[in-house]
Structure 1
Amino acid sequence: MTTSAITAKNDKRRAIRRVGATALAAALLAGAALPGVATADTAGKDRPELRAMVQEIADSGFAGAQLRVHDARGDWTGSAGVRKLGEAAKPPTNGRFRIGSNTKTFVSTVVLQLVGEGKVGLDAPVADYLPEFGLDRRITVRMLLQHTSGLFDYTGAILPDGTIVPGIPLQGKEFLDNRYHTYQPEELVRFGLSKPPLFAPGTDWTYTNINYVLAGLVIKKVTGRPYGDEIGRRILRPLGMRDTVVPGTWPGIPGPHAHGYYRYQEAGEWKTVDITEQNPSWASSAGELISTTKDLHTFFSALLGGRLLPAPLLAEMRKPHPKGGYGLGLYVQESSCGTVLKGMGGFHGYGTLMASTPDGSRTYELSMTYGDSAADLGQAYYKADQMLTDKVLCGK
């Protein structure tokens, strides 16, 4: 994630409180026609309130949006906006997209499976598994998964006094010029370790991608296979998730997909670039995966339903840190209807949400593609999240 994304993540709870739920137009709530929404309603029933929501999300500043909802009325999918700027076609409801930090939930699941198998100690020093980095021995595996290690993030950081310390080039023209550059995970870790830590291990919370790059390396060291191979072996193939991809250095998105765009300023002029193709190795095991709303629903439902982790470890995963509201690889939020569980992710051109009630009876998965709008897409992202939480998870 970029520095701006880090700020948004760290201020997530405050931002959500500021946004509040957005009222839909009365005509839409009454079921007025929405010709701009593509739908694939597997329950066989029209859902005008869901069509209205995905249209409102697209209209809030995104090029397009695709939404999947599961509730007592069954499964529904729909999309709004455009698949590609300048064209009329809607985003495919079965389209693939970059899921960003939702990757972390997959990685945490694999690490916790290894904990359950006795191959990794949740409270063991990370240095026991990765001695080559000279890590502070107070940093544990749990701290990586919960973002309490205190390590400086290779994507950059904002210090308590407001000073911005840059990371690898992930913004503006410099990022675009390096969009096909390959980063090795060890390189990303060493960049972060070259900077002073943000705080002593376990004493505070801040969202940093370096934690999950290290977690991916722990998986590789313990199993002898890359973290992506283990995700495939332990999660994707057993659950039949054929549309989820670990791209590595490959810059494309296979199969049907909507295009994502990057808007930046150069010499005082705003420019918009199609950023669909990019080397995602800078995100590595912190955020490189590609998936679909269907596959994310399959994964999150299996995870929360106890099919991937034993009950004690799933309970550990769902214990939120008091400051960040983050468990071990997912967000644990309090909503107007009680606890809800979420994955949240951002990537250049793409924003993704997956969310569920604890019992899995109500869920949603949302992909948003960024276009050329000047709207505050950080606020639009959290506004969409709040609206779907209120209306889908809480049934308001």
Structure 2
Amino acid sequence: MAVTALVVTLLAGGSAPGTAAAAGQDRPALQEAMQRFIDIGFTGMQLRVHDERGEWVGGAGLRELGEPAPPPTNGRFRIGSNTKTFVATVVLQLVAEGRIALDAPVAGYLPRFELDPGITVRMLLQHTSGLFNHTGDYYGGKVMPGLPSTGQEWVDNRFRTYQPDELVRFALSREPLFPPGRDWNYSNTNYVLAALLIEEVTGHSYAEEMRRRILEPVGSDREPRPLGLSGTEVPGTRTGIRGPHAHAYYRYPDAGQWKTVDVTRQNPSLVFGAGDMISTTRDLHTFFSALMSGKLLPAPLLAEMRTPHDKSGFGLGVRVENSVPCGGTLYFHNGNTIGYGALMYSTADGRRTLTASITGVDTEVDLATKFPQALDKLLKAVFCGERAAG
């Protein structure tokens, strides 16, 4: 199965396995698939599955190095680029309201950046703008460093506050990778601009608009109605995680030696709008199921969101997986910040979902080979039936 792995910066390693109690029926294949991630070296994992058999929740590994407790199955975690799906949803809601035009130039909404007038809102959401990725890029076989996002330089700067305009202007100081719409390249800068677009059009902060439209308690008369995601937030520049959570660790080379740092606390402003949100497996399920089942967007815009670019499989804030061995199509977005990874998958109708958090640690993990194998096993167990996962 072709799957999209987490970015290589989610470095992690081995730990003595522990197991959190699973809710609902016994599902040994799910527990085994989750344990595979611990066996290849990740510190801990939370997993939530919704399907025709109901809800299954489990955890494996450790909550914190040196402590025997497993990760809390209701724990909060940094969801990384899954933030992009939330942001794309709000942008498309504004499109539905006639406040943004999907194929209009972004420069018309955000003139202060003097963007190429060929860059449209659609291109931001689909990563076809050609804008340099401010956290660093790889294109045409060339590695291009950005703002500190790995290694000792990131560790030294992990509590620094970046302003979103600063991120955009840094990206614009680099040459575009290609003319707008001519190619595809994943760029966090696209979603910094998408979040700023939300702010410009609504007159509210991106965090406030996210809360009003998606996160606040159910019961509002506004359409689309919020989902009551009490464990989800846009933390701004706050470095800590509120509520129960597992610790995350970063292993990196420095001066010829490997170092390990607890990176649970970090300032997420480097990935404003692109990877800064915090959530839970329950909230990710509620959000993605509602999105896929048509509760958050009109059908034509949901169809636009789920139409993949021919080079990437990336729609407007979601990815499309058509090569499931048991047939069918999955919609998903995976994400990471250093130390935390998040998985979010759903069938087209939102009735079967997989949401998970993975934390990293202090020994080597084979992300090129063993991680895709573990992910493949998990996806087969959830979406192809547990016998297929063996």
Structures share fold, TM-score greater than 0.5: yes
- 1:89 matches 2:69: yes
Q: Which position in structure 2 is the counterpart of 1:270?
A: 258
Name which of 31, 36, 43 aligns with 2:18. 36
Q: Which position in structure 1 is the counterpart of 2:11?
A: none
Matched residue type, 1:201: P
Name which of 222, 246, 271 aligns with 1:283. 271
Q: Which position in structure 2 is the counterpart of 1:306?
A: 294
Change (3 A) 1:14 1:369: closer
Q: Which position in structure 1 is the counterpart of 2:8?
A: none
Once residues 3 and 215 of structure 2 are traced to their aligned partners in structure 1, the CA distance between those partners, rounded to angstroms, is 35
The SS at the match of 2:266 is: coil
Name which of 136, 154, 172 aligns with 1:156. 136
Q: Which position in structure 1 is the counterpart of 2:361?
A: 371
Once residues 382 and 307 of structure 1 are traced to their aligned partners in structure 2, the CA distance between those partners, rounded to angstroms, is 32
State whether residues 215 and 230 of structure 2, in contact with CA within 8 Å, keep that contact through their aligned partners in structure 1. yes
Which of the two has greater helix per residue? 1
- 1:323 matches 2:305: no
> What is the 5 A alignment of 1:1-396?
13=2, 36-41=18-23, 43=24, 45-160=25-140, 162-237=141-216, 238-334=226-322, 335-336=324-325, 337-377=327-367, 379-395=369-385, 396=388
CA offsets, 1:221-274, max 9 Å, x none? 000011111110000112110000111100001110000111111111101100
Matched residue type, 2:315: G
Once residues 207 and 15 of structure 1 are traced to their aligned partners in structure 2, the CA distance between those partners, rounded to angstroms, is 13
Q: Which has the higher contact order (CA 8 A, sep 6+)?
A: 2
State whether residues 172 and 264 of structure 1, in contact with CA within 8 Å, keep that contact through their aligned partners in structure 2. yes
CA offsets, 1:127-172, max 9 Å, x none? 0100000100110000000000000110111231x33211001111
Instruction: Name whichever of 165-174 and 131-140 sits farther off.
Output: 165-174
State whether residues 3 and 321 of structure 2, in contact with CA within 8 Å, keep that contact through their aligned partners in structure 1. no
Change (3 A) 1:15 1:364: closer
Once residues 259 and 279 of structure 1 are traced to their aligned partners in structure 2, the CA distance between those partners, rounded to angstroms, is 15
Once residues 14 and 333 of structure 1 are traced to their aligned partners in structure 2, the CA distance between those partners, rounded to angstroms, is 8
Once residues 117 and 378 of structure 1 are traced to their aligned partners in structure 2, the CA distance between those partners, rounded to angstroms, is 43
| Aligned-pair CA distance for 1:13 | 5.0
Aligned length: 364
State whether residues 329 and 347 of structure 2, in contact with CA within 8 Å, keep that contact through their aligned partners in structure 1. yes
The SS at the match of 1:351 is: strand
The SS at the match of 2:333 is: strand
State whether residues 318 and 331 of structure 2, in contact with CA within 8 Å, keep that contact through their aligned partners in structure 1. yes
| Aligned-pair CA distance for 1:379 | 4.4
Once residues 379 and 250 of structure 1 are traced to their aligned partners in structure 2, the CA distance between those partners, rounded to angstroms, is 35
| Aligned-pair CA distance for 1:382 | 3.1
**Moved beyond 6 Å, runs of 4+:** none
| Aligned-pair CA distance for 1:376 | 2.2
Q: Which runs of 5+ in 1 are unaligned?
A: 1-11, 17-34
| Aligned-pair CA distance for 1:15 | 6.8
| Aligned-pair CA distance for 1:370 | 0.3
Once residues 197 and 384 of structure 1 are traced to their aligned partners in structure 2, the CA distance between those partners, rounded to angstroms, is 36
State whether residues 104 and 212 of structure 1, in contact with CA within 8 Å, keep that contact through their aligned partners in structure 2. yes
| Aligned-pair CA distance for 1:380 | 4.4
Q: Which runs of 5+ in 2 are unaligned?
A: 6-16, 217-225
| Aligned-pair CA distance for 1:381 | 4.0
State whether residues 351 and 381 of structure 1, in contact with CA within 8 Å, keep that contact through their aligned partners in structure 2. no
Q: Percent identity?
A: 60
Change (3 A) 1:64 1:114: same
